[in-house]
Amino acid sequence: MNPDPDPNPARPESANAVRLEASNPGRPKSPNPVRLESPNPVRPELVEGQDGAQADVASRLRQAQPERIVGVPVAEGRLSPEDFVVHEAELIDDRRWDDWLALFAPDGRYWVPLQGAAQADAQTHNALALEDRLLLELRVKRLHSPRAHSQHPASRCQHVLQAPRRLPAGPDARVAEGDSLVNVEAVRLRTAFLYIESRGPQQVLLAGHCIHTLVPGGPLGWLIREKRVNLLDAGQPLPAIQLFV
């Protein structure tokens, strides 16, 4: 005759189980120690992406967080175009003028059209600002100079950005590669913003959107071919802006 079955048969320990045993040496150990198991253990099929609904969930997770799910980080030093735009605004807010200037391509420009978004080009109408790389360098030198009267006290600013949104690709751009010029596809992004500039007790608030035209290059993966700032009230009288929107 078979003996009565054990009412508490031994259970295989889970890979995620944690055994809690009494730490008091004078206290006898329980024959059935408490086991705490993860309520949501990692399931291989969610990671590997098997067929069916679980594979669909895993696929969507990979798209949402590719670095965490797939484990393939973005190439070191390179930014996505969207992150590049956010980084550019942070450099201005942190007053890192030289690092900000280095984001522009040699033929890059900073353009604030007088008619805002309604202005078609920079040749047939005036602009609030139309500065190539040389003029931007002069402005940066002025901000560094202790003799700049308008910077006593120094101006400070803060950008509040919406998420950058990609626009249809513009015409191909030509960039230098060695001794020749090659055609590359430019990336265009639109980013709505609020811009606050403060100097002493005075504050200026501007709203609008930027259109960045980026080309491949530079240590971060992109360079600014053009930064266009379409102010909401571009045609109205505006106070002097000391920094960069």
| Other CB atoms within 10 A of residue 136 CB | 20
Residue type, 196: I
pLDDT at residue 121 above 60? yes
What six digits make up the tokens of 118?
């309604």
Stronger pLDDT, 231 or 2, i.e. the higher one: 231
CATH class of segment(s) 81-231: alpha beta
**128-164: pLDDT as tens digits:** 999 999 999 999 999 999 988 888 899 999 999 999 9
| Residue-level pLDDT at 22 | 41
Average pLDDT for 90-94: 97
Stronger pLDDT, 35 or 112, i.e. the higher one: 112
> Could you give the CA distance from residue 243 to residue 139 in angstroms, rounded to a whole number?
9
> Could you give the CA distance from residue 210 to residue 164 in angstroms, rounded to a whole number?
9
Q: Which residue ranges make up each domain of the chain?
A: 44-73, 81-231
Strand partners, 223: 215
| Residue-level pLDDT at 173 | 61
| Residue-level pLDDT at 183 | 74
- Percent of the chain topping pLDDT 70: 64
Considering only 44-53, 97-106, 108-117, which range has the smallest mean pLDDT?
44-53
Average pLDDT for 188-215: 95
- Choose among 42, 23, 41, 43: nearest CA to 33: 23
Average pLDDT for 160-172: 87
What six digits make up the tokens of 83?
């992150």
The DSSP-derived string for 69-101 is HT--PPPTT---HHHHHHHHHHHHHTT-HHHHH
| Residue-level pLDDT at 18 | 40
What six digits make up the tokens of 86?
């956010």
**27-81: pLDDT as tens digits:** 555 445 444 444 444 444 443 444 455 445 444 434 443 333 222 334 557 999 9
| Residue-level pLDDT at 115 | 92
| Residue-level pLDDT at 149 | 85
Q: Report residue 179's pLDDT band, with 50, 70 and 90 as the boundaries.
A: low
Mean per-residue pLDDT over the chain, rounded: 77
pTM of the model: 0.66
**Strand blocks (E) in 28-71:** 34-36
